[in-house]
Amino acid sequence: MAKEPTGKNTSGRGQRELKVKVKTARGRKLSSTRWLQRQLNDPYVKRAQAEGYRGRAAFKILELDEKFRFLVPGARIVDLGCAPGGWCQVAAKRTNALGEKSGKAVGFVLGVDLQEVDQIPGVELHVLDFLAEGADDQVKDWLGGKADVVMSDMAAASSGHKQTDHLRIISLCEAAAYFAFDVLEDGGTFVAKVLAGGAEGELQKLLKQRFAKVANVKPPASRADSSEKFVVATGFRGALPEAADPSA
């Protein structure tokens, strides 16, 4: 069973660690060698392996939850684009989806993705395109009601062109936001990855209309050289009057 991390860096900060150096093998690109070397020396990768998480991204949602406290026992969670499953693993523990915390409400974690994901204890997994017609009703049917949290660590496939990639992920995040509007309970939370780049203004405006508070955060587990950040919108206000709905 994976040990739930505390969010504190236990990777030996302040201690001198030996760095793994990787030589470029014949037939392997220099960029691949750099990626491999970064992975081998990444303390979050090491922690994920040691603590049984499916990737370093698990620590991003853990750190966000420690700041905003939305993964509470009894909460119903929807993880969009959940592969490989690290966010679901954290959510299952924090919401008490397995009922391991005596006297605490039991949560429900639903992970959906375009591809099959290996089973995770305490998580219900489905292959689903959340953009498909009727996907929101299908999710509410699986949940047996509405969600307390909709979260997404999705990123569009990289084109290699920074501005194009930025626009693609903003579009994907907006689609996830509209999905959240359909499935969230009043007072619910929306968490999603975005890329800084100047085109997220409309997304921010949209979220501020529908949520009481909107914060933009770069958790410590997010690499310093990455342009990613996370939007955390809390206090969902529910359906807007038709005249005020920007999608009407």
DSSP label at 69? -
129 is in an annotated binding site: yes
Helix, strand, coil percentages (3-state) for the chain, rounded to 5, are 35, 20, 45
What 112-117 contacts at long range (C-beta under 8 Å, 24+ apart), as own/partner pairs, is: 112/78, 112/79, 112/80, 112/81, 112/82, 112/139, 113/81, 113/82, 113/83, 114/81, 115/83, 117/82, 117/83, 117/84, 117/85
CB atoms within 10 A of CB 233: 27
141 is in an annotated binding site: no
Angle at 38 between CA 218 and CA 20, to 5 degrees: 140
142 is in an annotated binding site: no
**Cα 201 to Cα 82, 175, 184, 197, 208, distances in angstroms:** 26, 15, 22, 10, 11
113 is in an annotated binding site: yes
Q: Which of these is catalytic: 193, 205, 208, 218?
A: 193
35 is in an annotated binding site: no
Residue 140 annotated as catalytic: no
Give the annotated binding-site residues for S-adenosyl-L-methionine. 85, 87, 113, 129, 153
Catalytic residue annotation: 193
Give the annotated binding-site residues. 85, 87, 113, 129, 153
